[in-house]
Structure 1
């Protein structure tokens, strides 16, 4: 008879955990040291006679990184496809119970209706699915969302409730008069009413006192308790694919060690502007290359807020710690999805991504609002990077490697750009710009092949948006990591936030100063020697190639995309 495997002694587990921590720290320091040395030393691997066309060790490392990332992403897509082909149909009788939670805040009625209609159309057994929408705000201006919920789910006996408070706002019973006797109730009747509705109705919408997105999500999670097996998160500007939930559920059903799974988030409004179009291409690569690669190693760093599924028994264990997260003494409000993912990773559970689950979410079409969004996301990225580092030892070494590489990348890029702008050699600057666009084009070409859509080639146009907008915004995010808030404005009133423009202005002044210095030094230099003559030839040819590349890309964009764009209104009005 087979004997049960002996459990390791607690002391040996502690020693094993300590050893993994030491090895992980050593590995991280090794990667950090090698990358820093390769960058600082500038070791050339290939060069022409005058060192004008040089390819260094750091560039080779980045190229190998992109090749490895693309290869593992492709292998993950293959693995997902094989598993999907071998699956049997879902048995409705044994399907896991799921709650779809929707977070809403001053949502555009057009987007909200799409979200709720898509929730109704989900291909999942009705008896095993609940829908719970929580509105952040309970004023008269917010109640149109409750009305729309009742309208869309009219045949589902929906329940709606306006809560004067929320789980974390002090509740005080109303006084019967000055000096009058009051019987103080032990618990908030609003909270009891919300929890009773969630237990007794399949479709529930609650409008509560404003508290931010994390407060809204907490209400949904806390009210559900242990009533369901899985919890799906979704935003009110998101349109779910009918098969989105089913594909997420299959991943958790098939892999018990997976604690959370995310899907493919695409852009709902790609043709609103050039910003939203480039964002749509960037989103596809972020999910289907970068997160697909992470999924190959079971360590997806962020289960995105619009489309994610969690094991409820695990979520309830860290719910309070997730809500009460603080950074430098400040209560954290944004970055809720990254911290949910990190909490799951901290417990040693795997996180996955499946491209078979899909949704479409709104993205900013105006540059300023996009910049504010990216600054907010960068804040949560840097903050969660520090928390994530505590649990590298519990997961595959790729998680450590990629965190170090992606964490250092913006700093090395900024240092490279500044060094070249002030180097006094126009060709050196142009050569790096050509290399950047060449790498961007190669990455875009791979994405076009993987997706089977030639339009992905235009992803290479995203490089200037990153270099001129997102890169300086990251440094503002790093300097203001401890500032919290909802992080976005409701779409009814799009508040203008000009603070993210400050680093862009400073960045532009730095680059213009360096460019002027380099041009002045080049103009004063002696160009009669053979090396300078060769540099002049390279400069003319490179400038022509660079200009030709941009003319071609802009022509493709204008001919195939720009003419299809239409501008949406910056806000909306609702009759209350």
Structure 2
């Protein structure tokens, strides 16, 4: 107890020091060097960001080097259940997901599909499940009027009939290798709760994924290797490719709650050997809604996980503090650069955003050995223009629950995602208009003209190079869809 209290104190003190140091560096604006008219400068806050980027790059390199090393073979005698969350999924995506699961190289893998919604139009997902997983004889299926927290008639799920239904769901899940539960809509957490509750302690590990995810055949065994190597590790995340959703394995205890493994003192790890590919919306507004939903989850988990920083390394505490406050510093920085009335400030902002993006993208090319990673530099612009306002909006609407994006069977465009982006664009446009007004009042100096011309040419060259690379690398592959995927994924 004494050691635990000491670790809590040290971790809390460390987090406070990191937060205070960043605030101090930003607020004071101390500069080490600068030009005569402050067109360019490098200060304490910039030094911190540079050091942060350097450390991230170093750890990424060490992780990739370790990943490329030989994997130690292990004899695993564990039981695993794979739980799939589904909500109005595109039939083609669901089939690909289930086919990839059938090909997972882990003997005796139990599969549980939980459908969020029990209306007639949701029944097609059960039909697809039976079709792919071996027919009615090989699968156990239940259409549940309610869920674990509702009886389906507006009640709280405390009656004897509801208890019988819950027991029937548990029996089907535990007795069938492949089971599908269609239940009353309750959101993604309710879906996961159903799978965990029904399984109970009948398996050693639970792996979860969404119904649009195509899993690599070795994903389960690779995550289990990490869990078995270290008894203190209770959760493992995998590498997501092409599109953006995680695979996760959660250590199960007799009592499963959404507090997960941190509550029991277990560590979590990441392994790039466990891979998957998953769908992301191709429509801009649906993508924004998805990012907003994920940001809400991030901030909720951030606030909760702050209670458990002491159970992890100090690096995790540092990363959590930095990533948690970084969006607010960015908003303040952008407004500060757009409203002093200097055109050079706006151009400098654009150049800095793309410079950081290019540095990260170039390093990614080095790590992966693939030139196509250079397009990752576009993420910085996408972050500043869309993800940043979406994150702030998510924080202010954090209590609004839901899936955030519509189901993929029938695409419904939700315009709410455009609200923060529109407001952000209006703020930036206001800064541009104000800057133009201020600049026309007084002619540019020769130094200012030279900097503006050089900066504009440099910025234009970046986009020209990216366009050439796009035509040379990406455009040629547009008509060769299968080449975008590893063979194991393409077969799914």
Equivalent in 50, 61, 64 of residue 63 of structure 1: 50
Residue 189 of structure 2 is aligned to residue 214 of structure 1: yes
Q: Aligned ranges for residues 322-337 of structure 1 at < 5 Å?
A: 322=258
Asked if the contact 1:138–1:163 (Cα under 8 Å) also holds between the matched residues in 2, the reply is yes
Q: Aligned ranges for residues 320-469 of structure 1 at < 5 Å?
A: 322=258, 343-469=260-386
Please report how far the alpha carbon of residue 487 of structure 1 lies from its aligned counterpart in structure 2 after TM superposition: 2.5
The aligned residue for residue 573 of structure 1 is none
**Equivalent position SS for 2:255:** coil
The aligned residue for residue 104 of structure 2 is 122
The structure with more radius of gyration: 1
Asked if the contact 1:348–1:395 (Cα under 8 Å) also holds between the matched residues in 2, the reply is no
The aligned residue for residue 472 of structure 1 is 389
Residue 457 of structure 2 is aligned to residue 544 of structure 1: yes
Residue 80 of structure 2 is aligned to residue 98 of structure 1: yes
Change (3 A) 1:160 1:555: same
Please report how far the alpha carbon of residue 98 of structure 1 lies from its aligned counterpart in structure 2 after TM superposition: 0.4
**Equivalent position SS for 1:485:** coil
The aligned residue for residue 200 of structure 1 is 175
Q: 2: CA distance between counterparts of 1:40 and 1:402?
A: 20
The aligned residue for residue 469 of structure 2 is 556
Asked if the contact 1:115–1:236 (Cα under 8 Å) also holds between the matched residues in 2, the reply is yes
Q: 2: CA distance between counterparts of 1:517 and 1:165?
A: 56
The aligned residue for residue 115 of structure 2 is 135
Change (3 A) 1:526 1:106: closer
Change (3 A) 1:171 1:215: same
The aligned residue for residue 161 of structure 1 is 142
The aligned residue for residue 3 of structure 2 is 16
Asked if the contact 2:209–2:248 (Cα under 8 Å) also holds between the matched residues in 1, the reply is yes
**Equivalent position SS for 1:159:** strand
Change (3 A) 1:185 1:523: closer
Please report how far the alpha carbon of residue 564 of structure 1 lies from its aligned counterpart in structure 2 after TM superposition: 4.5
Q: Aligned ranges for residues 265-280 of structure 1 at < 5 Å?
A: 265-267=240-242, 280=243
Please report how far the alpha carbon of residue 469 of structure 1 lies from its aligned counterpart in structure 2 after TM superposition: 0.9
Q: 2: CA distance between counterparts of 1:351 and 1:383?
A: 18
Please report how far the alpha carbon of residue 359 of structure 1 lies from its aligned counterpart in structure 2 after TM superposition: 0.7
Structure 2 gap segments, 5+ residues each: 154-158, 482-492
The aligned residue for residue 247 of structure 2 is 307
Residue 442 of structure 2 is aligned to residue 525 of structure 1: yes
**Equivalent position SS for 1:500:** helix
**Equivalent position SS for 2:285:** helix
Q: Aligned ranges for residues 493-508 of structure 1 at < 5 Å?
A: 493-508=410-425
Q: 2: CA distance between counterparts of 1:535 and 1:187?
A: 74
The aligned residue for residue 46 of structure 1 is 33
Q: 2: CA distance between counterparts of 1:86 and 1:501?
A: 46
Equivalent in 166, 175, 191 of residue 166 of structure 2: 191
Please report how far the alpha carbon of residue 56 of structure 1 lies from its aligned counterpart in structure 2 after TM superposition: 1.8
After superposing the two structures, state which structure 1 stretch, 72-81 or 357-366, moved more.
72-81
Please report how far the alpha carbon of residue 48 of structure 1 lies from its aligned counterpart in structure 2 after TM superposition: 3.2
Q: 2: CA distance between counterparts of 1:220 and 1:34?
A: 44
After superposing the two structures, state which structure 1 stretch, 474-483 or 42-51, moved more.
42-51
Equivalent in 17, 27, 37 of residue 30 of structure 1: 17
Asked if the contact 1:244–1:357 (Cα under 8 Å) also holds between the matched residues in 2, the reply is yes
Q: 2: CA distance between counterparts of 1:253 and 1:492?
A: 39
The aligned residue for residue 150 of structure 1 is 130
Please report how far the alpha carbon of residue 429 of structure 1 lies from its aligned counterpart in structure 2 after TM superposition: 2.4
* TM-score, with length taken from structure 1: 0.78
Q: 2: CA distance between counterparts of 1:185 and 1:460?
A: 58
* TM-score, with length taken from structure 2: 0.91
**Equivalent position SS for 2:415:** coil
Structure 1 gap segments, 5+ residues each: 1-12, 173-183, 268-279, 284-303, 323-339, 569-576
Q: 1: CA distance between counterparts of 2:174 and 2:443?
A: 82
Q: Deviations over 1:87-124 (max 9, x none)?
A: 12x43xx5200011111111111111111111110001
**Equivalent position SS for 2:295:** helix
The aligned residue for residue 487 of structure 2 is none
Q: 1: CA distance between counterparts of 2:128 and 2:339?
A: 58
The aligned residue for residue 204 of structure 2 is 229
Q: 1: CA distance between counterparts of 2:9 and 2:196?
A: 36
Change (3 A) 1:546 1:73: same
Equivalent in 236, 245, 251 of residue 261 of structure 1: 236
Q: 2: CA distance between counterparts of 1:77 and 1:524?
A: 54
The aligned residue for residue 239 of structure 1 is 214
Asked if the contact 1:371–1:473 (Cα under 8 Å) also holds between the matched residues in 2, the reply is yes
Please report how far the alpha carbon of residue 441 of structure 1 lies from its aligned counterpart in structure 2 after TM superposition: 0.2
Q: 1: CA distance between counterparts of 2:464 and 2:56?
A: 30
**Equivalent position SS for 1:482:** coil
